[in-house]
Structure 1
Amino acid sequence: MNRKTLVLPAVIGLLAPVLAACGGPDIGGKGGDAIVVGTTDQFSATKEAPAPFDPAFAYDAGAWNVLRQTLQTLMRAPRGGGEPVPDAASKCGFTDTQNESYRCTLRSGLTFADGDAVTAEDVKFSIERVLKIKNDNGPVALLSNIDMIETNGDSGIVFHLKTPDATFPYKIATPAAGIVDSDTYKAKQLRDGVEVDGSGPYTLETETEGGKVVKAVFTKNSEYKGDLKFQNDKVELRSFPDAASMEKALRDGEISLMTRTLDQDQIKKLSENPVEGIDLIEMPGLEIRYLGFNTEDSVVKSKAVRQALAAVIDRGQLASKVYPATAEPLYSIIPNTIVGHQNSFFNKYGEPNRQKAAGFLRAAGINTPVKLTLNYTTDHYGTATKAEFEVLQEQLNASDLFDVTIEGTEWSKFRENQKRGEYAVYGMGWFPDFPDADNYVAPFLDKDNFLNSPYVSVETRNKLIPESRRATDRGSAAKPFERIQEIVANDVPVLPLWQGKQYVAARDDITGVEWAINSSSDLQLWELGRGVS
């Protein structure tokens, strides 16, 4: 998680007033009113982001979680995690030992929600469309290793890859490979607005005001022919201006579930003083928070400045002071629950050490204090982001090696500024597109990377990433990933800060909550149902 830029983004960002509730604590379930899910996320169609739900453009957790409900992919993430399983496909697999040719067969009778048949040509059109549009905001990098797509009749598709890639099944299980209809999507042009048409589990209806989504309702798609099991017929996503008003709506029975973003005080309060009828659920999380650098900017172009930052920042204090319930220090771009992780930053820099940081700067002939601005987004990662950057500012200024100011910007402008290279240092978050070390490496270090970073490690791009992708057994890919982490710790193109957990709070008559969000923060609305309180 944009994509994938996210900290605790578990659902679509919506900007909306509080809407009228669907009546009391018995909200939701099969054949009844919609299950109403609350969020504090924001999402809007803007000049900079005119097509927020187009799979060729969307690359943030909120939009992807809308697309996961509405667009079908050949493969999908299974309920409890692990290797992808077929969805629009009846079967898929590599046809060679080099992991360069991948064949899928579509399910029979597959149709879009309007009844039109889904064919192999639709799959080819959809994926080639992402590659042709090649939007710099979008997920094209996930599919860029495709050399050619062949079709065989209405149901056969073969992907020929440029280089071996054992992670390819994971990539075509993401919304980047969502299947769209050529009747409603143009081959070389984004589809502006917030409409989505697909063959996925739900159809979507939205209400907007001034380009901002104020209501999103997912209704069970009667034409869906995958193997997902529905526990409801309808789910509504509703936004609140802050976590406090969202919690009040949950307590009052106006919503059934609140997802992101619960703030620290709420988690502590609900944990220590449970509310009758409301459950707080902790879930595994794979999101990370990090600082990114424009390595061509004069302020941080010297590696010594970035190394000094890595040496002086106290991750433990940051996590315990700002996110005591939801974060732990992170010393690698690969989180500690992913195969291949090693604490590369701790191995190189150890505990926060002003003397070591000063040594980096002195050896490079850099005068201190180094003046720099830490940029963060005010409305994308939760209310604690400002406090997080205030702690970073305090730590760095206390070292006397840096003279730091902080500046917050709303996400719609922040992301565009970041991609254009206007920030020397900026704070971002990441949710994985799929739970593999490759997805914590390639989006930051490979060609056409998500950050639009000018940093290049030739060894990483030309040798280590390709080597890691040849390993069908992902455990055997650990060695190249370990070397990549060492390179990142030395060059510091990004600086990992912390790894987070996920929490949701739900009324106790709602079932399936434990399955509704997986470790990658994929929203699985079909799992939610209504039981007995």
Structure 2
Amino acid sequence: MNRKTLVLPAVVSLLAPALAACAGSGGGGGGGAAIAVGTTDRFIATKDAPAPLDPAYAYDVGSWNVLRQTVQTLMVQPRGEGAPVPEAAESCGFTDSGNERYACKLRPDLKFSNGDDVTAADVKFSIDRALAIKADSGVFALLSTVDTVETKGDEEVIFHLRTADATFPYKLSTPVAGIVNPDNYEKDKLRDGFQVDGSGPYTLKAEEKDGELVRSVFTKNPHYQGALKVNNEEIDMVSYDDADAMGAALDEGDIDVMTRTMTPEQINKLATADSDVDLVEMPGLEIRYLAFNTDAPRVKSKAVRQAMAQIVNRDELVSAVYGSQAEPLYSLVPASITGHSNAFFNKYGDPSVAKAKAMLEDAGVATPVKLTLHYTTDHYGAATKKEFEELRAQLNGSGLFEVGIEGAPWDTFVPAERNGEYDVFGMGWFPDFPDADSYVAPFLDKDNFLKSPYANSEIRNTLIPDSRREADRLAASDSLNRIQDIVAEDVPVLPLWQGKQYVAAHSDVTGVAYALNSSATLQLWELGRGVSD
């Protein structure tokens, strides 16, 4: 067939009315053999992280993508983006004018995959459990505005919030708010290993080897009742060590679909090749950034962090490593999200070694400043090493820094970062939901997932609460812009770039354009067998 690259529009929210999720559990069935999906996401159970798929612990995009197939939430992001819609719930909404009381009524006849009824008490158990366990991943902070959970009968759940939170419906669409069966999950202990039991569109059969999940078989859940239309009977998701191995599997027909994370070289090749593989380009809300342990002696001085912000050339970084597949980013909040501002460009302008030198001299910082930049070797794609080589070259080329780089696998990298062992480290972020709050609170609020010692009282006590009071997110822009300006001044994190997303699939697979949403959520229920255009 002719080579086909589909580019989805950036303003996907405009499609929401026409593409909203279809009610009902059924549909499509799809027929045919299981659809094989490749990923480079890795799932490893270790001594430090023995429960990678427990909703009360999981807080990375790969684990969430397993949970979203299996564990049902009260709300869900609709197919065409936009505000969340009821999923396990029949209806949800604020019942007061101050956005502090949120009530949901469950769909009738909800059942877990084993046939047990899902009740309001199970919802309360699940939320209370995540808050009580308070896992060191920090995911519980998404529910930090919950004061108490009340039930009325078997079908009504009422959330009483500590403070106004207009983003709460979005938070109820995230896996930490997933409904779990008390028979399978202890109230005060995480569930180790790779077993997941829920009421979502699929059941999971986990195949593991040496403490790693290597294959996830998702089978359509016959008891599922919800808003999603499931277009296939089974998905076979295989984890590969690297993008090259995943690409070879696609070429050989061992998999039907290739998801995250492809290399820039693979994307360029697929975009120009004439084959039976279609490449779909989608707008993305993924960001990459450097994070600082602001208590570490080498970067404790704000001038050191500001000098790095003044030197780093994002245009050259993106051009050298990612080409047209990414764009420079000048704020924690990416472009296309309401409330975004180019705070770092507004403060620092174009890269300037002279300005950076003056900053360090004024602060009495001796040069060259010696630093190690840490990155993960197996979580964000093969281009990460090249990205850090470019950062090292830029900083060392200034003569003001003497920088080394050091990579580590994800299962080593994360515990070290959380234990404060790294002064400077690179991370990626996929939003919990498509709102500026998801780029602000997880980094800057109390119990932030980075375990950052940086704390700004104006941000935590005034600006974040003020922004959450605004149901009209445009009205929250003043608070959000002020937060971004403070971040550009203090530089607890240094935003680098915002990326696009890609999925490649053989032409007999349908629904590929909706298999991955802007928040990098896999929607495997969208895939089916048929003839694409």
TM range (shorter): over 0.9
Deviation at 1:199, TM superposition (A): 0.4
234-243 vs 492-501, greater mean Cα deviation? 234-243
What is the distance in 2 between the residues matched to 1:471 and 1:489? Answer: 24
Query: How many Å separate the matches in 2 of 1:403 and 1:234?
Result: 52
The residue that corresponds to 2:311 in the other structure is 312
Alignment gaps of 5+ in structure 2? 1-27
Farther off after superposition, 29-38 or 309-318: 29-38
Aligned ranges for residues 239-258 of structure 1 at < 5 Å?
Answer: 239-258=239-258
Deviation at 1:64, TM superposition (A): 0.3
1:474 aligned to 2:455?
no
Aligned ranges 1:133-152 → 2 under 5 Å: 133-152=133-152
Contact conserved, 1:396 with 1:402, CA < 8 A, in 2?
yes
Q: Which residue of 1 aligns with 2:506?
A: 507
Please say if residues 29 and 530 of structure 1, whose CA atoms lie closer than 8 Å, have aligned partners that are also in contact: no
In the other structure, the counterpart of 2:187 is 187
Count of aligned pairs: 505
Asked if the contact 1:292–1:495 (Cα under 8 Å) also holds between the matched residues in 2, the reply is: yes
1:227 and 1:104 map into 2 onto residues whose CA distance is: 15
The equivalent of 1:520 in structure 2 is 519
2:3 aligned partner: none
1:375 counterpart SS class: strand
State the distance in 2 between where 1:493 and 1:245 align.
36
CA drift of 1:288 comes to 0.2
SS for the counterpart of 2:44 is coil
The aligned residue for residue 233 of structure 2 is 233
Gaps of 5+ in 1: 1-27
Instruction: String of CA shifts for 1:185-235, please: whole Å, max 9, x gaps.
Output: 000000001000000000000111111112110000000010211110100
1:347-366 alignment runs, 5 A limit: 347-366=346-365
2:221 alignment partner in structure 1:
221
Match of 1:88 in 2: 88
Q: What is the identity, as a one-letter code, of the residue corresponding to 1:390? A: E
Q: Percent identity?
A: 63
Superposed CA offset, 1:418-441 (max 9, x none): 111111100000000000000000
The 5 Å alignment of 1:2-401 reads: 30-272=30-272, 274-401=273-400
Work out whether residues 377 and 409 of structure 1, in 8 Å CA contact, stay in contact via their aligned partners in 2. yes
User: In 1, Cα distance between the equivalents of 2:83 and 2:132?
Assistant: 28
Matches within 5 A, 1:479-494: 479-494=478-493
CA distance in 1, matches of 2:88, 2:271: 40
- Is contact 1:267–1:325 with CA below 8 Å preserved after alignment? no
Matched residues in 2 for 1:184 and 1:32: separation?
32
State the secondary structure of the residue aligned to 1:285.
strand
Worse overlay, 418-427 or 237-246: 237-246
Contact 2:32 2:529 (C-alpha < 8 Å) held by counterparts = no
CA contact (8 A) 2:123 2:180 kept: yes
- Note closer, same or farther for the CA distance 1:138–1:195 as it changes in structure 2 (3 Å cut): farther
Q: What is the distance in 2 between the residues matched to 1:360 and 1:276?
A: 54
- In structure 1, C-alpha distance between the alignment counterparts of 2:29 and 2:413, rounded to whole Å: 39
SS at match of 2:43: coil
Return the offset for 1:44.
1.1
Shift of residue 138, structure 1, vs aligned partner:
4.0
Q: How far, CA to CA, are the matches of 2:474 and 2:37 in structure 1?
A: 37
What CA distance in whole angstroms lies between the structure 2 residues aligned with 1:405 and 1:227?
50
CA distance in 2, matches of 1:134, 1:246: 36
Looking at structure 2, the residues matched to 403 and 167 of structure 1 have their Cα atoms a distance apart, in angstroms, of 43
Shift of 1:276: 1.8
| AA at the equivalent of 1:387 | K
Name the CA distance, whole Å, in 1 between partners of 2:62 and 2:243: 17
Once the two structures are TM-superposed, the CA of residue 245 in structure 1 deviates from its matched residue by: 2.6
CA contact (8 A) 1:58 1:138 kept: no
2: CA distance between counterparts of 1:244 and 1:454? 38
- Name the SS of the counterpart of 1:237 in structure 2: strand
- How many Å apart are 1:30 and its aligned residue? 2.5
Query: In structure 2, what is the Cα distance between the partners aligned to 1:229 and 1:138?
Result: 32
SS across alignment from 2:246: helix
**Aligned residue for 1:8?**
none
Amino acid at match of 1:259: T
**Alignment RMSD, CA only?**
1.1
Q: Distance in 1 between matches of 2:241 and 2:147?
A: 45
Q: C-alpha separation between the residues in 1 aligned to 2:29 and 2:120?
A: 35
Structure 1 residue 174: deviation in Å?
A: 0.3
Secondary structure of the corresponding residue to residue 324 of structure 2: coil
Give me the whole-angstrom Cα distance separating, in 1, the residues matched to 2:161 and 2:241.
45
* Aligned counterparts of 2:242 and 2:140: Cα–Cα separation in 1: 33
1:272-322 CA distances to partner (integer Å, 9 max, x unpaired)? 2x2321111101100000000000000000000000000000111000001
State the alpha-carbon separation in 2 of the partners of residues 461 and 242 from structure 1: 39
Matched-pair contact (CA < 8 Å) for 1:284–1:501: yes
Distance 1:333 1:115 in 2: 43
Query: Which residue of 1 is the match for residue 442 of structure 2?
Result: 443
Instruction: Tell me by how many angstroms 1:252 deviates.
Output: 2.2
What is the CA-CA distance between 1:154 and the residue it aligns to?
0.3
C-alpha contact 2:75 2:87 (8 A) present in aligned 1: yes
Indicate if the aligned counterparts of 2:138 and 2:448 stay in contact, CA closer than 8 A: no
In structure 2, what is the Cα distance between the partners aligned to 1:201 and 1:213? 20
C-alpha distance in structure 2 between counterparts of 1:522 and 1:128, whole Å: 25
